[in-house]
Amino acid sequence: QRELKGKDFLTLSDFSPEEIHWLLQHALDLKRMQQEGTPHPYLQGKVLGMIFEKPSTRTRVSFEVGMIQLGGQAIFLGKQDIQLSRGESMADTAKVLSRYVDGVMIRTFSHEGLEAFAQAATVPVINGLTDTHHPAQVMADLLTILEHKGRLQGLKLAYVGDGNNMAHSLLEGAVKVGMHIALATPQGYEPDPNIVEGAIQAAKATGSQVLITHDPLQAVHEADVVVTDVWASMGQEAEQAQRESVFQPYQVNTELCQHAKPDYIFLHCLPAHRGEEVTAEIIDGSHSVVFDEAENRLHAQKALLSALLG
């Protein structure tokens, strides 16, 4: 896709439905090639810099393996190892890295920090998670739903839990592909109203319905896909105890999932906390596709990398 070359990938709201569908199709092609053992060195000689200001298992390994499978290489830049930890600015770091690498993936705290980095960089910048968005994860989630359900348009996705980065990116992603989305959060933990408003506007073009509620039963009612995420995200460790009591009624368990469609699938970006946001019965049960979802990080990101850096 010529128009994607050189672009940043910061939020899903920056991409058209056509671009998202194209990326998903490309991910399916890349997955098939990898499974058949067909080489696909679309990024021969290219190098991705990967800055991590927070821990990561899936994002780090899938981006790094993805670059290797595409014939390129990735460099891991932990915050403590680079001058960012001693106060060098996002902008200067971006300008310097742009002279060495062909693209940068960053996991950071503030979304504004990511935007400052992207503004100063002259190579494509990919969001590997901020406090408010996790679009690379949601590409993998859409891919997983598509594989298990055969379509996206018209399905109902229910997200139960914190109105956090996952909630925001799921909202932005669902409305681009015509999925209905219902988000149930406790009072005081709602998604950002600006992101909700943007999603409602985008939904007009695709026919998606957006429901924001405090009632988990209403959200999960007749859902095709049930999703949750941790109650305390990275950086919110101090709020863990307080969040555990507020979020208890939002646990995804067998009782709640009885309100979903009989063939619903369960997604969680991982890492998960069994007994908190989800019971073991659900995440380890027959409706759960969380490890397909984790695998799909690799295929979805290879599609992104080859489109933006190729």
Q: Which residues are catalytic?
A: 107, 134, 137, 229, 269, 297
> Residue of minimal CB distance from ligand CP?
59
Q: What are the tokens at 225?
A: 């896909």
The total of other beta-carbon atoms located within 10 Å of residue 190's CB is: 17
**Rounded to the nearest whole angstrom, what is the least distance from the CB of residue 230 to ligand NVA in the complex?**
5
Location of structure tokens 């996705």: 157
Q: Which helix (H) or strand (E) holds 184?
A: strand 180-184
Determine, following the binding rule CB under 6 A, whether residue 56 of this chain makes contact with ligand CP. Answer: yes
10 binds, among ligand CP, ligand NVA, none (CB under 5 to 8 A by kind): none
Q: Is 269 in the site for ligand NVA (CB under 6 A)?
A: yes
The residue within the footprint of ligand NVA, chosen from 202, 230, 289, 307 (CB under 6 A), is 230
Q: Does 233 bind ligand NVA (CB under 6 A)?
A: yes
Q: State the nearest-atom distance from the C-beta of 165 to ligand NVA, in Å.
A: 5
In whole angstroms, what is the distance from residue 310 CA to residue 308 CA? Answer: 6
Tokens describing residue 300: 């979805």
Angle between helix axes 165-176 and 193-206 (nearest 10 degrees) is 20
Phi first, then psi, for residue 184 (nearest 5°) are: -115, 120
Closest CA to 176 of 8, 4, 69, 22: 22
| Residue 229 lies near ligand NVA (rule: CB under 6 A) | yes
Which option in ligand NVA, ligand CP, none does residue 146 bind, with CB closer than 5 to 8 A by kind?
Answer: none
Residue 233 CB, shortest distance to ligand NVA, in Å, is: 3
Q: Which does 57 bind (CB under 5 to 8 A by kind): ligand NVA, ligand CP, none?
A: ligand CP
In the three-class reduction of DSSP (H, G, I as helix; E, B as strand; rest coil), residue 154 is classed as: coil
H-state helical runs in the chain: 17-36, 58-69, 90-98, 111-120, 135-149, 165-176, 193-206, 216-220, 240-247, 254-257, 280-283, 290-309
Q: List the strands of the sheet with 180-184, edge to edge.
A: 210-213, 180-184, 156-160, 225-228, 265-268
Pattern of binders to ligand NVA over 34-53, x per CB under 6 A? --------------------
Is 179 exposed, middle or buried, given 0-12, 13-18 or 19+ CB atoms closer than 10 A? buried
| Of the residues 98, 164, 169, 296, which one makes contact with ligand NVA according to CB under 6 A | 164
Nearest-angstrom CA–CA distance, 123 and 139: 21
59 binds ligand CP (CB under 6 A): yes
Q: Which of 269, 283, 300, 307 binds ligand CP (CB under 6 A)?
A: 269
Counted residue by residue, the chain has a size of: 310
Query: Which of ligand CP, ligand NVA, none interacts with 166 (beta carbon under 5 to 8 A by kind)?
Result: ligand NVA
Comparing CB distances to ligand NVA, the nearer of 42 and 231 is: 231
- Determine, following the binding rule CB under 6 A, whether residue 108 of this chain makes contact with ligand CP: no
Nearest to ligand CP of 219, 294 (CB atom): 294
Residues that bind ligand NVA (CB under 6 A): 129, 164-166, 229-230, 233-234, 269
Residues that bind ligand CP (CB under 6 A): 56-59, 129, 137, 269-270
